[in-house]
Structures are given as C-alpha cells and as structure tokens.
Structure 1
C-alpha cells in the first residue's frame, strides 16, 4: 500500500510529552506562534504535519504526541500562525483523509532539544521547508530524488465541461496542502502546474488521480511529475493562484478576489460527496466518486462570468435527424406540431445532451445550420393512451442502435466533433476497401481517401468531401448491414488521412 510518509515513525510515550518545557508567558486563547493540532491520525508523518504550516511561512519546530492524537506546530512568526488559523477555520485541513483541527496553543515557544527523535524532526523541517520556500526535496547527497518533485503537470483530456482553477484546487487538496496553481492552454489542451508543500503528497495524488474522470465519461486527468521544483506565481486570478500570498495583484485588469474567498474555497473536495460547482445532482458512478455528472436528472451549472443555465437531458433542436446518436443515446423525440422544423430530443442523461449541443450547434445539414440549445423541458412526454399526436412523438429507449448502454464504455473516450473524416468499425473480413468506397460513393458522397487500420482491418478511416457530407453519411450508413451478422459502426474521427 502507498505510504505518504517521508520518514518512519515511533510513538512518543506520555512521559516524554510531560518532559516538554516551554518558554514565555501562557495565554489561554490569544494568538501564539505555537499551534495545537487535534484529531491527528496515529500513522501520520512529521512531513505531513509540517506541510500544514509551510504555506503560511517557515515552520520552526514540531512536537508529535501520537498517543494522544495531538501535535504542536511552531511557526516562525505570530503573524504566520494567525494567517494559518484563519485559513483553517474556514477550510478544515485533512491529513490521511481525516479532518484535523488547529487552534492557538497557550504556549509561546517549543523547546524540545532534550527529546528523542528530534534529529528526524529537524530533517523533516529542513526538507519540507526547503521545497515550500523554493528549494528542493533532496536525497542524502542534496540531489532531487526520482519522482519526488512537489510540482505536478496536469492535462485534462475530453474537456466537455469547463474545469476551473478552483475545481483543481478542491480535487487535489484532498491529498495535501496545495501551495500554487498555474493554468494554461497548450496544443489546444487545458493544462495546469500544481505545487504541493510535500512531494509525497504529489506522489499520492499522481498515483490516485491519473486516468480518472472529473465528470462522468469526460474531463480525464493525466497527471505526471513536472521537472520544476517550485512555481513562480505573479498574479492571483482565474488563471494562477499562490495560496500563500493573498497580497498578490490580480493582473490583466481582472478584479482582485476577496481575501476571505481566496483563503478558502470551502472544505477540501470530498470525492465521496461532491458534484461540480453549482450542480445539485444525484450520485452516479464513472467519475471521481459521485463527482460525476448525473444520469436522467436535472440541475443547474454555474460557469464563471455567466448566469446559471439549466442542465438536463432535453434539447431543443432545429433540422436534426433523430437518428443521429453519435453523441449519446436518444431516448425520445417530439417534433413540434406548429413548428415542424423544430424538435425536442431527450438524451439518456445531461452529459450526453451537453455533448450533443457543444458539438452539433452551428453545424450545417441539408444546407441549413443546426441550432441546438438546452430545452426548458426536463422530459419529453409521450402521448397518453388514446391521444393522437400524428406520430410526432416516438420512444427510442429500446433501440438497438444505442452506443452507450454500458457505464464507462470505451465509446465515451472516442467522442469527437464533426469532421470530414469518419471512423468505420465492425467490418467483416470479406469486405474490401473497394466495397466500402463504393458503398459511400453509391449513396452520393465524395470519397477523397480511404485507409484500413494497419493492425486491425475491422476498422478504417474514410474522408469525404465536407463535414456536412460526413454528418449526412453517418446518419445514412451507421448500422448498415454488411452481411455476416456485421453492422457498420460510423463515428467522427479525430485523425485525418
């Protein structure tokens, strides 16, 4: 099992705790640079406790009372201790996935020179302070240990919902104190650099979160160690944040955040109980715990700088053939009686509705531009028994064409915007490239290029004359019977020929 410890532990006896001597006057509740930590997990390491303090300044001493599940942390200044207590009053820190509680001690200074294990404590203080204050986590020879950088590089793939700096902070804070975050876009991918106080927290987060989805079937995290050992953050805004420096300017004309809000975005993200910000949803598997977008339920999503928008499974669509299921499973379709160029389409869940809207809105089909928006309706009602609706409402929930029946299906990982290149699969061995090219050309499409996959001739790419042609071809030829009990699967490709 993975251990977060940088150093081994041995319990302090109660007699040792009694031998601790203090300097200075005692104050029952007033600010002090010595802080008392309660509910400390027995298996915690010195480095993990020190990491609670380093975002706010240098930690100068530590005493662990393991038998009592308590500890004392001494900060270099009273101001740093005050900032730390204020922060953790609004954002309860977690160590080893357990909440701990920090308050002022009625002691002014720790003097632990005569206690055993202080050599190990001093080594931990030196290592963690060095990393947090711009140094590095080092081995005995002063070099950086392999895979021990406190800075992670994060790439978010399949970015179908906005991922903000705050969302990353909430997720990664579960594994330790996050000092700094910088977000940016590179190679058309949303990326971030995130610095922990403790490199072992970075290691734990990488092992746990790499490959996980933030929301159901999308926003996949790719996490790796950065070559950097410290981040230089100049501005506190939506793109970058130094959680140890609330005094930094916002830069770029962006409004400075209220320090109280900057100090805490709420408690660290509980991956077992939280959903995307602004969403009130039921639980669904397939993402970081029930962090996922839900199935068949409605709610509201609030995006930065935008009014809240309804998020559920029903779309209002113009000029869209109801057989297009490339972005999800269509459950019901209702053509509007007075506006037959418009229809309500109920997808399997809100995620699929959002995908269909983001990828199909503005595309051209039959010479007209498709308009796709989220409808105010939460479901498409079927006509009551005996009620005549001229066949304008149909239920497709039992259709054999659904691509996404299985939660977590690999099909979710191959969802791409419309393109002129189509991905073909489920091709039987007897079908040649000429047969497939003739199938598309004979249906009226311009075939510009064709290529079987070298390692798997069950799949191929075909490039048509335009994106509009490819959309129509997908409608016409998806599920086409190729014989030998094989039906052609057609989807948009991210590759070109």
Structure 2
C-alpha cells in the first residue's frame, strides 16, 4: 500500500521498476549508483544520462522500486551518492536499455582491468603518461591506448585499458584517481571497470605495452600514419596538442598539492619523481583563477568569497552555470592569486576536492545578460564596493587577528563585541545551518579584546562552516542583525586532526543541509527527466582553455 503523503507534481508518474535519479555529483559512475541503491533490493541495470547529472536504475520489480522512491521522498531513508543527497522518482520507462549487442552484462563488475578516459586531453596522452600516473599506486601489468579512427573529438579525449595484478589494486587506483587531473586544469580522469579480464598486447610501443615481458617493437609505420600504423612519431599524437616533451609533469598522487589518494593502499614506488619540482601549469600566472569540482547545486559567489578572503582580496567571482562544477575568481594582484592557489589546491569543499589553476584571462568580465544560480542568487558578483569592509588585506598584509593558514580543523573568531559569548556562537551556527563543533572557547587577550576557537573533528567541517558563517552579521539579543561582523580564520592552534578523504564523507552531517539550504532540491525538482538510455560518463568539467567560451555562454 502506498504511503499516505503528498508528493510533488512531478512524482505523479505510474510506478515502474525503473527509477529516475537527479542531482548526481560530478564523476558519478554506475558503481556509485549501484552501491547507493543496493540497500533497497537487487538492481538489474544502471544508466547515466550525460551532461544532466541524472541517471536511471532498474530494480527487479515495481515493489522494490516503490520502496526506494517512497523511502527517499519521505526522508525515512534518504539516498546519498558520493556524499550528496540525490532525488528519486519513478521513471516513465519500464526498462533500462543497454547498447545494441551488449546483453551479457548491464555494466562491468569490479575486476582488475580499468577503462581510463582522459577528458580535455590538452596534452598528448600515451602509455608512458598513464603508467606514470598509475604506477605509484600499484603494479601495472599492461596498458593499451584506444584510438578511434586515429582522430579524437574536440575537446580531445584519450582512452586506455589498464590491467593490474588483482581487483584490489584496480579498486585502489580507481578510488585514488577518479576525477583527478593529470595536468593542472585539464586531462581529467574518468575511470570505470572494463568488461575485459585481460589486456592483450602484441608489441611494446607508445600505444601498447606489456610490463611483464620484453616484447618486440611494432613493424615500421607507413609514412602517412593513421589507425593501426604503429606508434606516433616524435611524441605527437593523432589528437593533436603539444609535443610530449613540452607537456608538464604528470599528476603525482603522492607529491602534488591536488587530489590525495583516497584509499589505504600502500604506495609502490612512492619516491619516484617525474621531475623533482611541482608540476608546471599550462597557463602563465594570472590574477584570475579557475576553480574546478565545486558543488554547483549549493555553492554561491558569497560562499567562495568567504573562503578566498582568508588568503586574498577577491574582486569578482563567477560561477559558470553552463559548466558543471566550475567557477572563476579575480584577485587584486598576482601574489594574492598565487596565495589562494597554494593554500586551497586540493582542499575538500562541500564533500568535493577542488582544484585551482590560472586562467588564460587577465580579467573577469560580466555576461551580456544577468544570470542566476539554481538558488536564485547571482552567478557573478563584484565585491569591490558592496563588501569592501570584508576585505582582510591592506598593502599586502593581513588585518590584525587574521591568521593565514591552510584549512585545519580549528577556526578562530576575532574582532567581536565585548559581550560576545558561546551562546552567540551557537546561535550563528544554528542560524546558518553550519556544522556543529566539538568545542567552543571564548577568551580575552591582554588588551581585553574577545576572541575564541571552534574545534571540529575534521578540517572539511571547519571549511564548510567558513563558507556559510564567515562575514555574517552578528545577531543582537532580540534577534536583529547588528553592524558587527563574525570573522573567521583557520588556525593551527589546538588543531590535531585533518579532514578525511572526500570519498569517505558520504554521511557528513553538513552535506545535506548545504544542498537544501542553497536551493538545490527545488531546482532538481523542476528539471525534466531525460529517459534516453546512456552508458557514457558525464562530460568533462572543462579547463581554462575554454573559460572564455564558458563566460560567453554562462
């Protein structure tokens, strides 16, 4: 019997064994959906809808699908995928269709062979690059590059089949590298399990290699080249791009300031280096930074300002509504942009690790027409006048009380009224649905000024508190807003814990309030369902090479 509750208009769809899932986070795989829905019952098939943050899942029967839909809609058993709450309804389809000729397996089960897709391959990708990325995480047996007719699409992509000794090694590599960029701001990895149980290699070249035996090189290639003609010459690949010797050093999961390994798999060859220095950036330094992998459903320009202002004076911030998970920020000078990049590269924000890179633009320009975010807030804001009093740096120096520190699990508040108390702190945290700290302390310095600390379990909780509570007006005793500002900064004072990896925060207490607080739920409710079957992963987030075009269409 169907539970007695009022469902949204969109939910008036006849029950079906197929459910429609909305608000999926970037880089979602069929395995992620399977893991999230499996508690409700057996799943027959899963399909992703590219570029829509949506997917379809087919249960064995209508009863199981109904239990999933009603439990998630009533809130008795909400569904989270990679830390983000998703929204589920019945689909208008009765079956999820796979690609023609593929009837043996709806999607690949975990195994020892991975299919790696490199999106926005601005630099040549070959066996050596893939090996350099994977080998610190586990032994690599074989790699085969997959080219389609010798030409890649624009933006270019590259694909590779990579075989490991066992499924555990493959799972560790997949967990650590999913969504990471091989080079700063481009060459994003999308990884899924392959249906193959072995990678067949006949020759050792830049396109195919068996690391377990010494195979001969391929036959001499014809002068015209093309598909099946052997290894590319002089480091150039069919999809174009710079010569291989001009490419930056590949992503090193154990040294870079970007993503960190998300598994406990012990590193193999962790001391290996691809050039002793931190990897170069494809773009020259700029006062404009690109921000990747943000949670577009719950982020806003103000929230990004609240975080960036701890390291620099943000002038303008723009969320690219036409590019999922991307934003741009302009700062007063190059030193400030560099400071933000170094302090926040790879930091977890709202359950996702962000990446930063220089933009090819030297100025952030407004869109021809006013654009808004799903929450109704502006997609671009200029902070020079409206929030000049929130700028924390003058003549390159931080204001008194501000500690410039990378995100930690402890926040410091300062420059508050003399009668400020713990109750005032808790009131602000509750008013803005911020994560609750383990401990709040209020102290006075020698001059009598009040300051204090908010101590969290993990740095990601403190970071999310900064997003929503930094720079807000302190309420008075009667609930009205005063002119006093609640100022936060990270501090190493008393900090003894760092944030867990993004993949391990599925039950994070702050994830759900953030998503609903900024209007993500209402936006997804209005999104039409696209029931066309799809098996490919979501499109690439893009890189700063396309940020100009993204601005024009944002």
**Shorter-chain TM-score: which interval?**
0.3 to 0.5
Larger Rg: 1
Q: RCO (CA 8 Å, sep 6+): is it higher in 1 or 2?
A: 2
TM-score (norm 1): 0.35
